[in-house]
Amino acid sequence: MSPVLDIAGLVKTFGGLTATDHVSLTVDTGEIHALIGPNGAGKSTLINQICGEIIPNAGQIHLAGRDVTRLPPAGRVALGLGRTFQITSLLDDMTVRENLGLAIQAREGGNFRIFDRAAKRNEVWDEADSVLAGSALSARAGVKVADLAHGEKKQLELLMALSQRPRVLLLDEPMAGLGHVESQQMIEALNAARGECAMLLVEHDMEAVFALADRISVLVYGRIIAAGTAEEIRANPAVREAYLGE
């Protein structure tokens, strides 16, 4: 089966600096592929090229078999590229259930900020209720976003991103700022979502990466220095030296 996301030879320079230097990787259907690397390695630059916010100097990006290298971001979303909703896009005065309902409605082309399709309402709420019931937020459906803990907001972001039914979801440090219990819940939520979409997971938390990733690619100074299973990456001397600090 061809990969759902296929990145080949992506080069992006900023002046004299090569932020991604012929980066290639694939994400297969059903796979969680982790991208790790120290600060400044080029991870965000790579994610931004996949989203279409930055156009590469060279290389190609194929999404679900289509060349999207020069397609604007909205076109990539339409082809199934998902990103977590940023916490800043959550509506603080509305409840968990209402925010999720708006995201579900947005998938159908509705307005994210207004319930404007009365006929769809029941389906939207039924879906929101069933998603919440199976989540870490099951007891928090009626709580305003303003009253959620940081980890709960991150859980809600993930549910909202998944509600768009992406083919491949880009996750930029989902564990950032989470305490131990919250991290465990996020790992569980990502594990549970494994069957719904493929994921490219940028993450510093190595416990989470080793718990979740089917494959890991290691980016250092713009180059992939190693790629493989968790076991292979753990045992790789170049990775231990360059990244794991051993």
List residues binding ligand ADP (CB under 6 A): 14, 17, 19, 37, 39-45
Does residue 161 contact residue 199 with C-beta atoms inside 8 Å? Answer: no
For ligand ADP, give the closer residue by CB, 46 or 158: 46
CB of 50 to ligand ADP, least distance (A): 12
Q: Which does 12 bind (CB under 5 to 8 A by kind): Mg ion, ligand ADP, none?
A: none
The entry of ligand ADP, Mg ion, none near residue 88 (CB within 5 to 8 angstroms by kind) is: none
Tell me whether residue 37 or residue 151 sits nearer to ligand ADP (CB atom).
Answer: 37
Q: Could you tell me the smallest distance in angstroms from the CB atom of residue 71 to ligand ADP?
A: 21
* Nearest residue to Mg ion, scored by beta-carbon proximity: 44
Closest CA to 90 of 150, 36, 39, 40: 150
Identify which of residues 19 and 213 has a Cβ nearer to ligand ADP in the complex: 19
CB of 56 to ligand ADP, least distance (A): 13
In sequence order, what E strands does the chain have? Answer: 5-14, 17-27, 32-36, 58-63, 66-67, 81-83, 168-172, 198-202, 215-220, 223-228
Q: How far is the CB of 84 from Mg ion (least distance, A)?
A: 14
Please say which residue, 44 or 60, places its beta carbon nearer to Mg ion.
44
Considering the complex, what minimum distance in angstroms separates the CB of residue 202 from ligand ADP?
7
CA distance linking residue 51 with residue 94, whole number of Å: 28
Q: Which stretch binds Mg ion (CB under 5 A): 36-44, 63-71, 187-195, 236-244?
A: 36-44
| Residue showing tokens 């159908």 | 108
Shortest CB 44 distance to ligand ADP, Å: 3
Cα 162 to Cα 193: distance, rounded to the nearest angstrom: 8
Single residue of 18, 29, 44, 60 touching Mg ion by CB under 5 A: 44
Nearer to Mg ion, 29 or 44 (CB): 44
Token pair belonging to 183: 């991290």
- Give strand ranges (E) for 41-173: 58-63, 66-67, 81-83, 168-172
Pairing of strands 223-228, 58-63: unpaired
- Three-state secondary-structure class, residue 156: helix
Distance CA 12, CA 59 (A): 9
Residue 14 interface partner, choices Mg ion, ligand ADP, none, CB cut-off 5-8 Å depending on type = ligand ADP
R_g of the chain computed on alpha carbons: 18
CB nearer to ligand ADP: pick between 51 and 143: 51
Question: Which residues are near Mg ion by CB under 5 A?
Answer: 43-44
